[in-house]
Chains A and B, each alone.
Chain A
Amino acid sequence: MRHIFALIVVGTLGLGLFYTLSHIPFGKGLSEVSKYYVENAIDKNDPHAGATNIVTDIVVLYRGFDTLGEVTVLFLAATGLSVFFFGLKKKEYTCEPSLIVKRGTGIIFPFILLLGVYIFVHGHLTPGGGFPGGVIIATGVLLIYLCCRDYKAPHSLFKVIEGSMGTLFVIVGLIGLIVGGSFLFNFLGAGKTGELVSAGIIPILYIVIGLKVGAELSGLVKDTMEDV
């Protein structure tokens, strides 16, 4: 009975979706606002220019306030997860980690950290950015937890990094407000496109976001892998 009802709902919605999508053309040109973004990404006189990666340009500069809210939502979700998991015992492990996992973790962990840092430092030149870089660092911490059962991560260090980086984001935005008249104004200028130190405040903000997300999610991994 439930299956028939579900099939009717899904079929009706599928027909509507097919009708709508067949009227939207596939593979046509840019929209007007995107033309503005692409034209200004290489304009030397525009303070928003400088990044080779146009997506980063939009996420960090044009929609920077939105990114601040995004970081806040991720922080609230991590805090909520820790609150709900408090006091719950997890299942006992039935087997020890093998020798390969133990030795391999020691070799591969520095490279995971290096990859994470590389991805958020080069966020304005190549694909990537603060969020994937932070998550890669957190997976490195998770790997340590998988190989050493009685490892305790430095919790206060994570909290200090997270809080100071969140404050730094707002401070950079406020400096832009004082100097240029708008929150998160690019007060450092565009620089030479394609070099590591260019694009004004984009690398600063991505390093801040990367460290904050990495510390936050490493704290989440610690909260969930240890019984409190």
Chain B
Amino acid sequence: MIYYIAGGGLFLIGLYILLVNRNLIKMIIGLGFMETGVNIIIIAFGYVKGKTAPILSTKELINNRQVVDPLPQALVLTAIVIGVAVTALALSMVVSYYKKRGSLNLSKNKELKW
């Protein structure tokens, strides 16, 4: 239960950071928080109380199959690596934005407003 609260709370805090801040690097930090929160919730879906990790180490484990759900863990393993790729590409775009504008503040870019 505490895991659902942790994941959902982290997601909401990340969304709040994304909406309130106008600094580009802080907005990407908020995006990372949202992603981590979703990962915690997905892993918590597959958790089974009182069972061990999906690694068959001893004879009893092999016979009784007392393991948690391995499928969400495999999905999150992929999602973490893709998340790092997204963060890296977004940050490189931020750096090239700074080279053009000289500022990281999004409110100072008024060319798209009218």
Q: A and B, one complex?
A: yes
* A residues neighboring B (CB under 8 Å): 2-3, 5-7, 9-10, 13-14, 17-18, 21, 24, 26-31, 33-34, 37-39, 41-42, 52-55, 57-59, 63, 66-67, 70, 73-74, 76-78, 80-81, 83-85, 88, 126-127, 129, 131, 193, 220
Contacts of A37 in B (CB 8 A): 70-71
Q: Which of B44, B56, B74, B88 contacts A58, CB < 8 Å?
A: B74
Q: Which of A54, A80, A88 contacts B70, CB < 8 Å?
A: A54
A55 and B46 CA atoms in complex are apart in Å by 13
B1 to chain A, nearest CB (A): 6
Contacts of A66 in B (CB 8 A): 78
Is there contact, CB below 8 Å, between A52 and B57?
yes
At the interface, is chain B mostly helix, strand, loop or mixed? helix
Residue of B nearest to A42 (CB): B62
Is there contact, CB below 8 Å, between A3 and B54?
no
Closest 8 A/B residue pairs (Cβ): A77-B85, A84-B92, A27-B49, A6-B19, A54-B54, A58-B74, A54-B70, A81-B92
In the complex, besides A6-B19, A13-B15, 6 extra interface pairs with C-beta distance below 8 angstroms are A6-B20, A17-B8, A31-B46, A59-B77, A126-B55, A220-B88
* B residues neighboring A (CB under 8 Å): 1, 3-4, 8, 11-12, 15-16, 19-20, 41, 44-49, 53-57, 62, 65, 67, 69-71, 73-74, 77-78, 81-82, 84-86, 88-89, 91-93, 95-96, 99
Is there contact, CB below 8 Å, between B48 and A10?
no
Contacts of A17 in B (CB 8 A): 8, 11-12
Is there contact, CB below 8 Å, between B56 and A42?
yes
Contacts of A6 in B (CB 8 A): 16, 19-20
Is there contact, CB below 8 Å, between B89 and A26?
no
Is there contact, CB below 8 Å, between B95 and A84?
yes
Contacts of B81 in A (CB 8 A): 70, 73-74, 131
